[in-house]
Structure 1
Amino acid sequence: MTYKPVFSRSDVEIVARETAFQGFFSVQRLTLRHRLYKGGWSESFTRELFCRGRAAGVLLHDPKRDQLVLVEQFRVGQIDETDRAPWALELVAGMLDANESIEQMAMREVQEETGLTISNLRFICDYYNSPGGSDERISVFYAQVDAANAGGVFGLDEEHEDIKVVVLSVSEAIELLSQGVIDNAMAIIALQWLQLHHSSLLSGGNEVSGSE
């Protein structure tokens, strides 16, 4: 591998940091400067940082039936869409609680949003959702479930969650992906990973990993 980053964290100086907004989420206002590729330092400038922290999502697969368990729920980020309703078909996902590992959070969210118990939890990847303006970093996992009795409506009332469990065949989910019906980054990444490793997962292969 020939790529090597030019800069490190020490090549950025935070001059000032303040909370610009605190609500369900928070926004920080940073004044900073950084080293330039052409040499020297940039002038100080201001950026707003949308603070969401760590999150994780889990692609739930029943290899015996070759079905996926997804969830559908209202998403305010799609409220201004004119050609679709603001409900999204997604992976089970959630935010990290204090003193909780990413793996623990993934298992908790599956129970809260589907009532299912997972096995064979496998890491797929980490990624930044929108690093131009947000600190949110997402871990994506694959896990196996028994989808025989999956279904219903779940979620925590205190968090205003109204989550419908949706069971689809793998082929149906891939078709919805190709049609643009499934159009959120976490689900796209997970389903494309599933396409790469589908045969091995059905055969019970142990060689599948997120780094392949």
Structure 2
Amino acid sequence: MDRKASFKGYFAVETLTIRHQLFEGGRSRPVRRKFFQRGDVLGVLPWNPVSAEVVLIEQFRVGKMRDEDSLRMLGLIAKIAEPGESDTRLAQRKAQQEAACQVGRLEPIATFYPCAGACPEQIRLFVGEATVTRPGTVQGLDGEHEDIFVHQMPRGSVLAMLDHIEINN
């Protein structure tokens, strides 16, 4: 296997030349692929079991530029994982910064590769018991140019929005 950096900035692009195991035995010829590298992502869905409400955040997303209606998306709290920081600590820190909520116990929902053909990124999703201190407010870090609106919604409303593909982030 041979790896070479093609680009390095906020994310990286690498060129990989590799031989892999074939289904019918033996190894492939050298295969060359470029892949996108930015690290793993942790996502957390804050949930208040007392009120049966979920917290979602709405914010600007540059990747939505292909849509004409809005560059804002409604979704989970998410962050690229930081080396040396536990998933629990990262989830709690980002929930406070982005949604003004205190997250306690976390339960894993899923771990998956969203685009394994071009990216080794793994996404780890959690649901966390939460107390929201300021729903309906704008949160985020000025230094990261964040402008995040905090939505606290009944679980049934969120499920209906998922059924109608109104939440796609």
Query: Shorter-chain TM-score: which interval?
Result: over 0.9
Aligned CA RMSD, in angstroms, stands at 1.5
Say yes or no: does 1:113 pair with 2:102. Answer: no
**Higher helix proportion:** 1
Q: What is the CA–CA distance in structure 1 between the aligned matches of 2:19 and 2:145, rounded to whole Å?
A: 40
Q: What is the CA–CA distance in structure 2 between the aligned matches of 1:157 and 1:48, rounded to whole Å?
A: 34
Q: What is the CA–CA distance in structure 2 between the aligned matches of 1:120 and 1:151, rounded to whole Å?
A: 23
SS at match of 1:34: coil
Q: In 2, are the aligned partners of 1:114 and 1:151 still within 8 Å (CA)? A: no
Match of 2:167 among 166, 170, 182: 182
Q: Unaligned 5+ residue runs, structure 1?
A: 1-13, 185-212
Q: What is the CA–CA distance in structure 1 between the aligned matches of 2:55 and 2:105, rounded to whole Å?
A: 15
TM-score (norm. length: structure 2): 0.93
SS at match of 1:146: strand
Q: In 2, are the aligned partners of 1:75 and 1:88 still within 8 Å (CA)? A: yes
Deviations along 1:49-102, whole A, 9 cap, x unmatched?
1112121111111122111111011111111124x3121111111111221111
Say yes or no: does 1:90 pair with 2:65. Answer: no
Q: What is the CA–CA distance in structure 2 between the aligned matches of 1:149 and 1:65, rounded to whole Å?
A: 15
Deviations along 1:17-51, whole A, 9 cap, x unmatched?
11111122111111111121112211112111111
Q: What is the CA–CA distance in structure 2 between the aligned matches of 1:32 and 1:41, rounded to whole Å?
A: 10
Match of 1:32 in 2: 18
Q: Unaligned 5+ residue runs, structure 2?
A: none
Question: Runs (4+) of structure 1 moved beyond 6 Å?
Answer: none
Q: What is the CA–CA distance in structure 2 between the aligned matches of 1:71 and 1:151, rounded to whole Å?
A: 10
Pairs aligned (count):
169
Say yes or no: does 1:99 pair with 2:84. Answer: yes
Aligned identity (percent) is 35
Match of 2:141 in 1: 156
Structure with bigger RCO (C-alpha 8 Å, 6+ apart): 2
Q: What is the CA–CA distance in structure 2 between the aligned matches of 1:100 and 1:146, rounded to whole Å?
A: 22
Q: In 1, are the aligned partners of 2:45 and 2:56 still within 8 Å (CA)? A: yes
TM-score (norm. length: structure 1): 0.75
